[in-house]
């Protein structure tokens, strides 16, 4: 899919929460990775993992952002919807414009049919009643009725964008879950996948101990004794 992010890493990331990913990135000096705005649109989204395909919007201007523009074949959004590869995530720089819905039920259905992994947008999505049944994972600030051209203009695609206040390059890895959407810089994705999966495993152990009444002191972060207990738990096959 992408040369430098392995399929194995993408598979691992399906089991790593965005909370864990942000901690892994913080350890690597990156705080600016979690978007403000995108949340699960239907409320029951499955987790979303995949490389970013980017679409950028400019503001609306009445002489440009017309119904004719919306229907034109060279509209960047129309091209994007047919061009984005299967398995990728459509990431839309909608300038945080929650008043406009950048996608409605028809285009969402087309993305679903084409095998796209999902959508992350910092502008709204429209026609919630028609979009939700399609079953495509969508993360955005919420539902809104007006089409994109009411307050936005699709401008170009596959360029460096911002979404939810975070820089996204085409090919960066997007992961989204109930905590929202995060971006993993492409060249860090293999490391974050590997260490994130290990962190998830360790925190399952910690959570079991906490629910048994053990204080977090010495456990989280672990002292030597806890590390030994963790290794034993791994050897024992990670019993619940």
Q: What is the dihedral of CA 17, 21, 27, 29, to 10 degrees?
A: -150
Q: How far is the CB of 134 from its own copies (least distance, A)?
A: 8
State the nearest-atom distance from the C-beta of 90 to its own copies, in Å. 14
Residue 125: name the closest of 137, 112, 115, 138 by CA: 138
Closer residue to its own copies (CB): 165 or 232: 165
Q: Is the link from the previous residue into 9 a cis peptide, with omega within 30 of 0? A: no
Cβ closer to its own copies: 120 or 166? 166
Q: How many angstroms separate the CA atoms of 179 and 183, rounded?
A: 13
CB of 25 to its own copies, least distance (A): 9
Give the residue with the Cβ less far from its own copies, 7 or 189. Answer: 189
Helix ranges (DSSP H) in the chain: 7-13, 18-27, 67-71, 76-83, 105-113, 128-131, 148-151, 189-211, 224-235
Shorter beta-carbon distance to its own copies: residue 2 or 65: 65
Question: For its own copies, which is the closer residue by CB, 7 or 39?
Answer: 39
117 versus 149: smaller Cβ distance to its own copies: 149
Q: Which whole-number Å values give the CA distances from 211 to 15, 138, 188, in the listed order? A: 22, 33, 33
In the complex, what is the shortest distance from the CB of residue 99 to its own copies, in angstroms, rounded to a whole number?
6
- Residue 176: CB minimum distance to its own copies, A: 9
- CA-CA distance, 169 to 51, in Å (whole number)? 10
CA distance 164 to 38: 7
In the complex, the smallest distance separating the C-beta of residue 199 from its own copies, rounded to whole angstroms, is 12
Strands (E) in 75-196, as ranges, are 89-93, 118-121, 138-140, 152-157, 161-163, 166-168, 173-177, 180-184
Q: Which of 216, 213, 196, 233 is nearest to 14 (CA)?
A: 196
Q: For residues 138 and 183, give the distance between their C-alpha atoms in angstroms, rounded to a whole number.
A: 15
Q: CB of 8: closest distance to its own copies in angstroms?
A: 22
Nearer to its own copies, 7 or 107 (CB): 107
């Amino acid at each position: 899919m992408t040369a430098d992010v392995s399929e194995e890493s993408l598979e691992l990331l399906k089991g790593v929460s965005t909370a864990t990913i942000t901690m892994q990135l913080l350890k690597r000096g990156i705080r600016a990775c979690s978007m403000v705005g995108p949340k699960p649109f239907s409320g029951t989204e499955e987790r979303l993992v995949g490389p970013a395909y980017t679409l950028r919007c400019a503001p609306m201007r009445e002489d440009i952002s017309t119904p004719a523009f919306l229907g034109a074949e060279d509209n960047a959004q129309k091209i994007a919807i047919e061009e984005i590869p299967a398995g990728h995530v459509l990431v839309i720089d909608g300038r945080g414009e929650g008043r406009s819905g950048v996608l409605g039920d028809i285009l969402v259905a087309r993305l679903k049919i084409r095998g796209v992994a999902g959508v992350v947008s910092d502008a709204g999505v429209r026609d919630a009643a028609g979009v939700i049944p399609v079953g495509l994972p969508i993360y955005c600030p919420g539902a809104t009725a007006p089409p994109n051209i009411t307050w936005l203009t699709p401008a170009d695609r596959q360029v460096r964008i911002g979404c939810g206040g975070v820089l996204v390059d085409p090919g960066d890895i997007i992961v989204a879950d109930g905590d929202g959407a995060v971006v993993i810089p492409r060249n860090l994705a293999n490391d974050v996948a590997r260490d994130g999966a290990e962190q998830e495993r360790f925190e399952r152990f910690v959570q079991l101990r906490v629910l048994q009444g053990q204080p977090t002191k010495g456990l989280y972060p672990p002292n030597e004794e806890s590390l030994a207990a963790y290794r034993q738990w791994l050897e024992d096959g990670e019993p619940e």
